[in-house]
Amino acid sequence: MKKSVLVALSLLSNLVFAQNEASFNTETGAVHIPKLQIVGDTSGTSYAIDLKNTGDVNFSVTEVKPLAAITGISNIQVGTRPYYLIENMEDGELKTQLQQCNEKPLKKTEFSIGHRGAAMQYPEHTKESYTAAARMGAGVVECDVTFTKDKQLVCRHSQCDLHTTTNILATPLAAKCTKPFTPADAASGAAASATCCTSDITLAEFKTLCGKMDASNSKATTVAEYLNGTPSWRTDLYATCATLMTHAESIELFKQLDVKMTPELKSASVTMPYEGSYTQEQYAQQMIDEYKAAKVPASQVFAQSFNLNDILYWIAKEPDFGKQAVFLDELETLDGVDKSTARLPELVAKGVKIIGPPTWMLVTAENGKIVPSAYAKKAKALGLEIITWTLERSGPLNTGGGWYYQSINSIVKKDGDMMTFLDVMAKQVGIRAIFSDWPATVTYYANCMGL
């Protein structure tokens, strides 16, 4: 509730600070008390209160809210992993600097983006995964957006990944899958397979499913075996029945968590226009319309797409959203990076402000060190902002780091190299933010470096 009455500081004697915490902004005169109780109030209700100094000892009470109405997470937790990674680093100035932050209070940071939530250990694109990302300090969280048979938007990394990210094959809805489960055949060498898409089922049917870790067992001869393929460096501990979400539900959750939002409009696996009438432009507009309906300011949304036409559509039709839309630039081979680098001026001319290449496109190895690539240097010279993906998606790095480190595989030797890699991204490449499957790692680094 809003208040405009003046209260003297002496009245604060009627308030009991539950955690002895308060913050005062010397520039604005604003006071924020995160948790207090009122003497004589037998309800046990705790409140947050905001005041503004109006001179001498007088304050204007600007807002009072029961804590149940407060959004966001103030107690950021990163667990032990960042400390493990730092201890695993080679001795040096960076390691020492990161060690010295080990007792620093941590805050949410927009440098840390929750990639599908906290997908290293939580089933991706579920309420549990998103909440975990926010608790790890991710200031931005991602919902990959696709659509169901009845053209409703939901959070899935791919339109056709339900067979690996949910329990659909173990439910009666398996009968509606594009391709039913086919067991592995050792004699012919054929792998187990299935294809189940959001467009195979309605939204109501989608909401009956449970999220699981994204994995499958190619040697499976039964559905149970097929669903049980989680890599050893991940876990099924939080995958008992994770909660799937619509795009609109993710927006409301992100508002409650007080994080910014980065939806990715996924390429449709069905022919567009879908059912002859649902066009790509309608799909792109529908995603933006759900933010507008939820009254989310465009400044809180970083819409993404690998399809440049989607970005150009938003720039033209929804300029408030389009000016910070992220074009996801990806080429599958190192031979293609020169072509992508040469295209950067064209992107700028078309109004693109932010690009999102994979991590390996931004760095190269030089004299045994990680340094910015020609692509990264060109992008920065053109004034483009860079968001990159994805940290903590490669498992143990003792074998070179795999796809996400492919341009520097020869010098990646152990897990601690991840922090050096992140430091180069932040300080030398100059990225705006980075997606991570375990946002805690990025949150720790960002807090230590003041990002």
Full DSSP string of 115-141: TTTTTTTS-TTBHHHHHHHHHTTEEEE
User: Using an 8 Å Cβ cutoff, are 173 and 244 in contact?
Assistant: no
Full DSSP string of 363-379: EEEETTEEEE-HHHHHH
- Token reading at 366: 């030089």
Scored b (16 or more CB within 10 A) or e, 372-405 reads bbebbbbbbeeebbbbbbbbbbbeebeeebeebb
pLDDT at 396: 97
pLDDT at 347: 97
Question: How many CA atoms does the CB half-sphere of 408 hold within 13 Å?
Answer: 29
User: Using an 8 Å Cβ cutoff, are 374 and 362 in contact?
Assistant: no
pLDDT of residue 164 exceeding 60: yes
Q: What is the pLDDT of residues 297-318, one digit of tens each?
A: 999 999 999 999 999 999 999 9
Residue 327 pairs with which residues in a beta bridge?
305, 355
The Cα 158–Cα 327 span in angstroms is 18
The Cα 365–Cα 414 span in angstroms is 16
Please, what sign has the CA dihedral across residues 40, 42, 46, 47?
negative
Query: What angle separates helix 417-424 from helix 439-449, to the nearest 10 degrees?
Result: 60
The share of the chain scoring above pLDDT 70, in percent, equals 84
The residue to which tokens 């720790």 are assigned: 444
Query: What structural domains does the chain harbor?
Result: 6-69 (no CATH), 81-143+245-449 (3.20.20.190), 153-227 (no CATH)
User: Using an 8 Å Cβ cutoff, are 370 and 406 in contact?
Assistant: no
| Mean pLDDT across the chain | 90
Element (H, E) at 355: strand 354-355
- Token reading at 394: 């490669």
pLDDT at 434: 99
The Cα 135–Cα 77 span in angstroms is 6
pTM: 0.86
- Token reading at 91: 């001795």
Element (H, E) at 53: strand 47-55
- Structure confidence at residue 331 as a pLDDT band (50, 70, 90): confident
CA nearest neighbour of 421 among 399, 445, 443: 445
- Token reading at 420: 């050096």
Q: What is the pLDDT of residues 287-300, one digit of tens each?
A: 999 999 999 999 99
pLDDT of residue 43 exceeding 80: no
The residue to which tokens 């003792």 are assigned: 398
251: exposed, middle or buried (C-beta count within 10 Å: 0-12, 13-18, 19+)? buried
Q: What is the pLDDT of residues 24-41, one digit of tens each?
A: 666 666 676 766 666 666
Q: What is the pLDDT of residues 222-275, one digit of tens each?
A: 999 999 999 999 999 999 999 999 999 999 999 999 999 999 999 999 999 999
Amino acid, single-letter form, for residue 234: R
